[in-house]
């Protein structure tokens, strides 16, 4: 059978993220896969047979794509055994840090190397699993996508990837505006618009909430509130002890997307004290909601935020106090940051990210040897 007589090479999506709680990685997977579905790039989404139906993701994003259950288990065992078999005749796209070592043709998105750079934040089992899996994928010359130039450097440094093996596709922030703001969260938590500073992050070591202790006290002295959104995570993360958390703070736990939008929109500013990120999605979400940003002075947040944020030493409590007080006290500073954030958002949106991912997939399909390659209707006509 000639190439022109063959059918299109299928593109399968690893749907494990649909069985997981929604966080930053799952948000990326949801938005990118929705974009690929709209472009007609995905043939099928392959999911484990059991687990949370839809997880934290909105399955309506994929109304026009077949979702197929495969195998008899879940988690890493499913991904390493059932998934490569289910996608054996096509190209497999993995959007959430992990992928089967035995898949013949695949792409994997690795968001960061936190397990290597901040090992104290992760369990020993998690670190060992990711070290073996991700290093194995790199050694097998799997195409890798990541979300920032910083993360690309991390993958090259810790995993030995070649520069040409790793592509960068930044994330987006417009999802936070896709739902109506639910301002009832303010009254439910006794928050007054403009009288609180917002933090979004899990209560784990590398999110660095302990550095905000003095900020909480300084805000309390002004009759304001340090409001922290996020949940304590079990399993893969090592937890910070409760004694390290800011005492002068209001902990809101997990909130809906609508409530999160309202919190961003009505906050005096957003503070992002993290010591390590692969991208820093909450900062972009804040910009999308016209919320001024104070961020840790770390390379990836400099890359993502640029002139649209004030920066503070992640090891200095006083630095965060100074920068937040500048926003509260300096005339025009908050508005200048909002304007800079709006300009910055021109480079961060999910439509561009989905198109870029489709381009990586097209390139991978073109690279399939002609004796096994099938022509793709996604490729431009000649």
Could you give phi then psi for residue 359, rounded to 5 degrees? -65, -40
Task: Give CA torsion, residues 370, 371, 372, 375, to 10 deg.
Answer: 40
pLDDT in tens, 1-59: 333 333 478 999 999 998 888 788 899 999 999 999 999 999 999 999 876 544 445 55
pLDDT in tens, 86-111: 999 999 999 999 999 999 999 999 99
Domains of the chain with bracketed CATH: 3-172+349-367 (3.40.50.2000), 180-347 (3.40.50.2000)
pLDDT at 381 over 70: no
pLDDT bin (cut points 50, 70, 90) of residue 368 is confident
Pick from 306, 138, 162, 317: nearest CA to 226: 317
Q: What mean pLDDT comes out for the span 321-342?
A: 98
pLDDT at 112 over 60: yes
Q: Give the DSSP per-residue string, 332-345.
A: THHHHHHHHHHHHG
Residue 203: what pLDDT? 73
Residue 202: what pLDDT? 78
Residue 52: what pLDDT? 54
**Model pTM?**
0.88
Q: Give the DSSP per-residue string, 64-124.
A: TSEEEE-SS--HHHHHHHHHHHHTTTSEEEE-SS---TT-SSEEEE----HHHHSGGGB-H
Average pLDDT, the chain: 89
Residue 339: what pLDDT? 98
């Amino acid at each position: 059978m000639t190439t022109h007589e063959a059918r299109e090479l299928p593109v399968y999506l690893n749907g494990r993220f649909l069985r997981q709680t929604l966080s930053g990685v799952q948000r990326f997977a949801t938005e990118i896969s929705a974009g690929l579905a709209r472009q007609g790039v995905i043939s099928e989404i392959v999911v484990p047979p059991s687990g949370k139906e839809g997880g934290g993701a909105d399955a309506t994003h994929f109304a026009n794509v077949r979702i197929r259950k495969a195998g008899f288990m879940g988690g890493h065992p499913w991904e390493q055994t059932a998934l490569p078999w289910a996608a054996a005749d096509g190209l497999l796209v993995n959007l959430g840090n992990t992928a089967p070592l035995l898949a013949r043709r695949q792409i994997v998105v690795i968001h960061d190397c936190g397990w290597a750079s901040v090992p104290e934040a992760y369990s020993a089992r998690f670190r060992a699993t990711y070290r073996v899996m991700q290093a194995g994928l790199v050694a097998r010359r799997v195409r890798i996508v990541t979300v920032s130039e910083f993360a690309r450097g991390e993958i090259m440094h810790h995993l030995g990837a070649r520069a040409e093996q790793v592509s960068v596709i930044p994330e987006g922030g417009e999802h936070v505006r896709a739902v109506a703001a639910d301002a009832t969260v303010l009254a439910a938590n006794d928050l007054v618009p403009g009288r609180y500073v917002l933090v979004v992050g899990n209560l784990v070591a590398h999110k660095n909430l302990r550095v905000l202790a003095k900020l909480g006290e300084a805000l309390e002295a002004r009759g304001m509130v340090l409001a922290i959104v996020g949940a304590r995570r079990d399993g893969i993360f090592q937890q910070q002890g409760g004694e390290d958390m800011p005492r002068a703070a209001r902990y809101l736990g997990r909130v809906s997307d609508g409530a999160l939008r309202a919190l961003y929109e009505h906050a005096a500013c957003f503070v992002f004290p993290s010591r390590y990120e692969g991208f820093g999605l909450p900062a972009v979400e804040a910009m999308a909601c016209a919320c001024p940003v104070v961020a840790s002075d770390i390379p990836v947040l400099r890359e993502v935020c640029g002139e649209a944020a004030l920066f503070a030493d992640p090891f200095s409590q006083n630095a965060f106090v100074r920068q937040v007080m500048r926003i509260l006290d300096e005339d025009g500073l908050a508005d200048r940051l909002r304007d800079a954030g709006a300009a910055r958002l021109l480079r961060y949106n999910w439509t561009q990210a989905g198109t870029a991912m489709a381009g990586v997939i097209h390139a991978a399909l073109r690279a399939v040897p002609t004796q096994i390659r099938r022509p793709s209707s996604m490729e431009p006509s000649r």
